[in-house]
């Protein structure tokens, strides 16, 4: 059974080792590949290699910046629950870590993905404006599968697998890339197709969760994301 809430004293010495190993390895690897906004936000939330983040402390910090909170769930929440939380500025995160012998292979996201890769940017105003609106619109169309799929695609190609242009260079900001060594390198290489952020294209672009992406969408800024909601609404409701 996965834990349903974070009881900090339950983390073992091995858990701390796993966090340290993953954190050190990944930060060294992505430092020159990730958006500066992510590095800034990592400092804001105060994550370090030697300490598994304590959700209470993280939430205290987030509440000062954006009012977002992370709440714990034992496993991936169903869509309606997940989007309901997003619409109320809550991100659902797991609080368990993979074991040392599973360090490179995971069947479902653990807290390294949810916390290291997703949580820092919850302190960024423009990013979270966009994120919250995805949740709000998804709730509005929760019984309309086609429209819900359009929003899930938007989520996928931004929050999970988005790239961003940052002083002439393309960088990563999607959590699915940030927590994966292989994809961080591949997504910035010449192999995959990189398209400019385009709401209409993304909403029509189906994706698979079981293979590495062949196409990524590149935004100019988080402001571009938050401002694109007029267009998103047009596609959803007109
Ligand atoms: Fe994720």
176 CA distance to ligand 1 middle (Å)? 6
118 CA distance to ligand 1 middle (Å)? 7
154 CA distance to ligand 1 middle (Å)? 13
95 CA distance to ligand 1 middle (Å)? 14
Secondary structure element (H or E) that encloses residue 171, with its range: strand 169-172
Exposure string over 113-152, b if 16+ CB within 10 A, otherwise e: bbbbbbbbbbbbebbbbbbbbbbebbbbbeeeeebbebbb
Give the integer Cα–Cα distance in Å for 189 and 182: 11
Contact (CB, 8 A) for 157 and 207: yes
174 CA distance to ligand 1 middle (Å)? 8
160 CA distance to ligand 1 middle (Å)? 6
177 CA distance to ligand 1 middle (Å)? 9
Contact (CB, 8 A) for 24 and 50: no
92 CA distance to ligand 1 middle (Å)? 10
DSSP state of 121: G
**What is the per-residue pLDDT for 225?**
96
10 CA distance to ligand 1 middle (Å)? 24
DSSP state of 117: I
120 CA distance to ligand 1 middle (Å)? 13
List the one residue out of 129, 218, 115 whose CA is nearest residue 166: 218
Name the least confident of 114-118, 154-158, 212-216. 212-216
Residue 8: pLDDT above 90? yes
Length of the chain measured in residues: 238
75 CA distance to ligand 1 middle (Å)? 12
138 contact partners, CB below 8 Å, separation of at least 6: 79, 83, 86, 87, 148, 151, 152
233 CA distance to ligand 1 middle (Å)? 24
Residue 221: pLDDT above 80? yes
Q: What percent of the chain has pLDDT over 90?
A: 85
The stretch 63-88 carries a mean pLDDT of 92
- Per-residue pLDDT band for 76 (boundaries 50, 70, 90) equals confident
DSSP state of 49: T
Give me the residue spans of the domains in the chain. Answer: 8-237
List the one residue out of 37, 3, 66 whose CA is nearest residue 164: 37
CATH topology of domain 8-237: 1.10.800
Name the burial class of residue 178, with classes exposed (0-12), middle (13-18) and buried (19+) by CB atoms within 10 angstroms of its CB: buried
18 CA distance to ligand 1 middle (Å)? 19
The stretch 139-166 carries a mean pLDDT of 96
169 CA distance to ligand 1 middle (Å)? 24
Residue 107: pLDDT above 80? no
114 CA distance to ligand 1 middle (Å)? 6
Give the integer Cα–Cα distance in Å for 113 and 202: 23
- Per-residue pLDDT band for 146 (boundaries 50, 70, 90) equals very high
156 CA distance to ligand 1 middle (Å)? 9
Global pTM? Answer: 0.94
Secondary structure (3-state) at 170: strand
């Amino acid at each position: 059974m996965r834990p349903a809430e974070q009881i900090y004293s339950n983390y073992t010495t091995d858990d701390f080792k796993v966090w340290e190993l993953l954190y050190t390895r990944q930060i060294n690897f992505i430092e020159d590949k990730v958006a500066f906004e992510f590095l800034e936000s990592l400092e804001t939330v105060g994550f370090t290699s030697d300490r598994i983040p304590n959700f209470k402390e993280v939430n205290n910090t987030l509440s000062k910046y954006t009012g977002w909170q992370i709440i714990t769930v034992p496993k991936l929440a169903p869509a309606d629950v997940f989007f309901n939380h997003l619409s109320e500025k809550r991100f659902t995160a797991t609080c368990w870590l993979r074991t040392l012998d599973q360090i490179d292979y995971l069947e479902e996201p653990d807290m390294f993905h949810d916390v290291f890769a997703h949580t820092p940017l919850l302190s960024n105003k423009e990013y979270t404006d966009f994120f919250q609106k995805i949740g709000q619109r998804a709730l509005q169309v929760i019984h309309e599968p086609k429209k819900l799929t359009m929003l899930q695609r938007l989520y996928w190609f931004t929050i999970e697998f988005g790239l961003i242009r940052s002083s002439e260079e393309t960088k990563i900001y999607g959590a699915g890339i940030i927590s994966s060594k292989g994809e961080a390198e591949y997504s910035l290489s010449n192999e995959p197709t990189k398209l400019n952020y385009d709401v209409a294209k993304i909403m029509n672009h189906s994706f698979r969760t079981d293979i590495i992406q062949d196409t990524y969408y590149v935004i100019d800024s988080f402001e571009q994301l938050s401002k694109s909601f007029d267009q998103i609404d047009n596609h959803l409701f007109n």
